[in-house]
Amino acid sequence: MIFHVDGNSFYASCERLFRPDLYSKPVAVLSNNDGVIVALDQECKNLGFKRGDVYFKVRKDIEEKGVTVCSSNYTLYADISARLNSLYNQFCPEVEIYSIDESFLFLPDWHNTDYSEIAWNLRETAGREIGVPVAVGIAPTKTLAKLCNKLAKKYGGVCDWGKIDRDETLKNYPVGDVWGIGYAKTGFLKKHGINTAYDLKKYPLDKAKKNLSIVGVRTVQELNGIAAIDQVHREKRDLIICSRSFSGGVYHLDELVSSLTEYTQEAVKRLRDDGLACSFITIFLMTNPYDQGDQYSNQATTQFPKPTAYLPDILIMALSLLRQIFRHGYKYRKVMILLSGMEDGNNRQYDLFEDTTEKEKRERLMQCYDLLNNKYGRGTIRMGAAGMANGQGNAGIVPWKMKRDFLSPSYTTRLEDVPKVL
DNA sequence: TCTGGGGTCCTAGGACCC
DNA sequence: TCTGGGGTCCTAGGACCC
């Protein structure tokens, strides 16, 4: 049996965790750069706000209605997420972490078991021990478990596929809300008279294969109670992306160099934290498509002679690719680094002609770098170009720096931010 | 002033091979 | 001038997800 568990309005719940004054008050969490609303609690939804609302457009409304706004604090959310997952593990050894706030639990098929009782217990424990409300959907397939999870929010927290009127439920469930049916597929299906999850369940498999590809076939099977989407055991990730929109327009190469250096450091940190080395690097550079002015976007990719996790080499390559694609005279909005072709970083193929002394020196340098940054905080030591061209004389505003005007403290991961009991 | 960021999976089509 | 059949591998781009 599969449980799909997720945190209700997860980011907003995390923000409320250490702010009892926000309990049952409307809270909205903004994306990086304070651009759009990415999470909001029920109270905020009731006021008519939606995920994806552009902050600067709804700001006045938000202020008038007394909504508390938070910049996203991923360090906090990741920590709460880890706590939830370790709790799930106490209930079930097989947990697939699907996203920061969603997990699938694969429970053995016991006979005569009331799974919803287990689910209520899980929900109650999460609320008591972690302080975050979760909802649980119970079904024989992932797609149905996700569907039940959505219903669970109406049923007070738990929904068991075995205990509801299934056909009736599917007939009232819009096809576009089914997991795996996005914008494009919804458009196609509606044109062909498939409007509900029930219609999709009855859609012939050969048509599904032809029109919705193998992905759609799996969805149809799952709606019919046949598990077709496997549990994912991912050993390593495929790629690392690090990109950010600038809060202001950026025109100069040195500012791009500066920001790209920061993103490269962050990307390499993730690479090293996961014990990986990368074979390819891609740099993207683009203007703002919403702008009226001239648009430019370009990318460049190169392969390293062998997989690497050595920051200086990766940074030199990143900056050289940036210089290749940079053109004067544009108002840039975003620069992005993408690392791919992952290999195991600790167990790389040795080069017959490799200078092992040099290799050891590099390894020691990087170990030292990691150590300092892990111990004293990110950015304690960094590469030369990072954070330099920072727009001095500009009232301290760095045009490429991310906006996070409403950031909450790192309650659980920074000693000085831990709440005090007085 | 101001419109997120980070991922995975699948498919089509080209290059190349025998 | 005619111009097979079967296959693999790689990549770009689309679709979808949270």
Judge whether residue A393 has pLDDT over 60.
no
pLDDT at A387: 46
Give the total number of structural domains in chain A.
Answer: 1
Beta strands in A61-193 (DSSP E): 68-71, 95-99, 102-106, 134-139, 158-160
Handedness of CA A43, A48, A52, A58 (dihedral sign): negative
Tens digit of each residue's pLDDT (9 = 90 or more) over A173-208 = 999 999 999 999 999 999 999 999 999 999 999 999
- At residue A390 the predicted structure's pLDDT band, cuts being 50, 70 and 90, is very low
Judge whether residue A401 has pLDDT over 90.
no
For the ranges A1-15, A177-191, A363-377, A381-395, which has the lowest average pLDDT?
A381-395
Å from the A210 CA to the C1 C1' = 39
**Nearest nt (C1') to A98 (CA)?**
C18
Q: Pick A18 or A6 by higher pLDDT.
A: A6
Q: Which of residues 185-244 of A touch strand C (CB under 7 A)?
A: 185-186
pLDDT at A319: 95
Strand, coil or helix: A160: strand
Locate A97 and state its tokens. 């972490």
pLDDT at A363: 81
- At residue A47 the predicted structure's pLDDT band, cuts being 50, 70 and 90, is very high
pLDDT at A354: 67
Judge whether residue A213 has pLDDT over 80.
yes
- At residue A141 the predicted structure's pLDDT band, cuts being 50, 70 and 90, is very high
Instruction: Provide the 8-state DSSP code for A403.
Output: P
Provide the terminal-to-terminal Cα distance of chain A, rounded to the nearest Å: 46
Measured from the CB, is A151 under 7 Å from any atom of strand C?
A: no
**Starting at the edge strand that comes first in sequence, how are the strands of the sheet with A27-30 ordered?**
A37-40, A27-30, A68-71
Q: Is residue A312 included in any domain, yes or no?
A: yes
pLDDT at A205: 95
What average pLDDT does this structure show over A13-27?
A: 91
pLDDT at A389: 42
Q: What angle do CA A94, A97, A98 make, to 5 degrees?
A: 130
Q: Which of A67, A89, A390, A358 is nearest to A255 (CA)?
A: A390
Does the pTM surpass 0.75? The reply is yes
pLDDT at A394: 38
pLDDT at A33: 76
Q: Is residue A219 included in any domain, yes or no?
A: no
Residue type, A356: T
Report in angstroms the alpha-carbon separations of A131 from A146, A302, A362, A411.
22, 47, 45, 14
**Nearest nt (C1') to A289 (CA)?**
B3
pLDDT at A407: 82
Å from the A300 CA to the B13 C1' = 22
Å from the A32 CA to the B5 C1' = 7
Enclosing domain of residue A322:
240-387
CB distance A334 to A295 below 8 Å: no
Footprint of strand B on the protein (CB under 7 A): A 31-33, 35-36, 38, 52, 54, 56, 213-215, 232, 234, 237-245, 247-249, 270, 288, 290, 333-334, 336, 402
Residue nearest to nucleotide B11 (CA to C1'): A213
Q: Is residue A341 included in any domain, yes or no?
A: yes
Q: Is residue A197 included in any domain, yes or no?
A: no
Q: Is residue A377 included in any domain, yes or no?
A: yes
Tens digit of each residue's pLDDT (9 = 90 or more) over A151-181 = 999 899 999 999 999 999 999 999 999 999 9
Cα-based torsion angle of the residue sequence A398, A404, A408, A413 in order, rounded to the nearest 10 degrees: -60
Tens digit of each residue's pLDDT (9 = 90 or more) over A79-118 = 999 999 999 999 999 999 999 999 999 999 998 999 999 9
Tens digit of each residue's pLDDT (9 = 90 or more) over A336-357 = 999 999 988 875 555 666 677 8
A376: alpha, beta or left, given left = phi > 0 and alpha = psi -120 to 50? alpha
What average pLDDT does this structure show over A267-296?
A: 91
Residue A275 sits in a domain whose CATH number is 3.30.1490.100
Q: What angle do CA A412, A413, A417 make, to 5 degrees?
A: 70
**Starting at the edge strand that comes first in sequence, how are the strands of the sheet with A2-7 ordered?**
A95-99, A102-106, A2-7, A134-139, A158-160
Q: Is residue A44 included in any domain, yes or no?
A: no
Locate A19 and state its tokens. 């702010």
Tens digit of each residue's pLDDT (9 = 90 or more) over A298-308 = 999 999 988 99
**Nearest nt (C1') to A234 (CA)?**
B8
Report, in angstroms and rounded to the nearest whole number, the Rg of chain A calculated over CA atoms. 24
Calculate the average pLDDT of chain A.
Answer: 89
Q: Is residue A376 included in any domain, yes or no?
A: yes
Q: Is residue A316 included in any domain, yes or no?
A: yes
Judge whether residue A75 has pLDDT over 90.
no
Judge whether residue A261 has pLDDT over 70.
yes
Distance, in Å, from the CA atom of A389 to the CA atom of A400, rounded to the nearest integer, reads 10
Measured from the CB, is A281 under 7 Å from any atom of strand C?
A: no
Strand C bases within 7 angstroms of protein beta carbons: 12, 14-18
CB distance A312 to A361 below 8 Å: no
